[in-house]
């Protein structure tokens, strides 16, 4: 199990990014959360196997069809043992 903070920059708020990220994470069996940040970016905290996290990160580079992703930053973070994948407000 690994944990990653994924910061997605671009036109990523108001385009169903959080809902789409939650759906993708649940399809992959990844736990964690997704939320909008005040600077207009979206933050994903994802926990799972390195293979599943890699697939989620790849998806984050494009996101849902209405999104425009300019940059994705990835950081290691400590495991918090999330259960499920939630949209945080």
Question: Is 68 annotated in the active site?
Answer: no
Question: Is 81 annotated in the active site?
Answer: no
Report phi then psi at 45, rounded to 5.
-110, 120
Alpha helices in 31-76 (DSSP H): 50-60
Q: Select which of 35, 36, 66, 81 is catalytic.
A: 36
Report phi then psi at 5, rounded to 5.
-95, 125
89: number of Cβ within 10 Å: 6
Q: Select which of 18, 35, 66, 68 is catalytic.
A: 18
For residue 82, which of 14, 13, 12, 5 has the smallest C-alpha distance?
A: 5
- Catalytic residue numbers read 18, 36
């Amino acid at each position: 199990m690994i944990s990653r903070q994924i910061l997605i920059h671009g036109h990523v708020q108001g385009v169903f990014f959080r809902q789409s990220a939650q759906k993708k994470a649940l399809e992959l069996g990844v736990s964690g959360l997704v939320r909008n940040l005040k600077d207009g970016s979206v933050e994903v905290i994802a926990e799972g196997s390195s293979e599943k996290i890699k697939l989620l990160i790849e998806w984050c580079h494009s996101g849902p069809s209405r999104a425009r992703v300019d940059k994705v930053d990835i950081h290691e973070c400590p495991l918090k043992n999330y259960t499920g994948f939630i949209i945080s407000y």
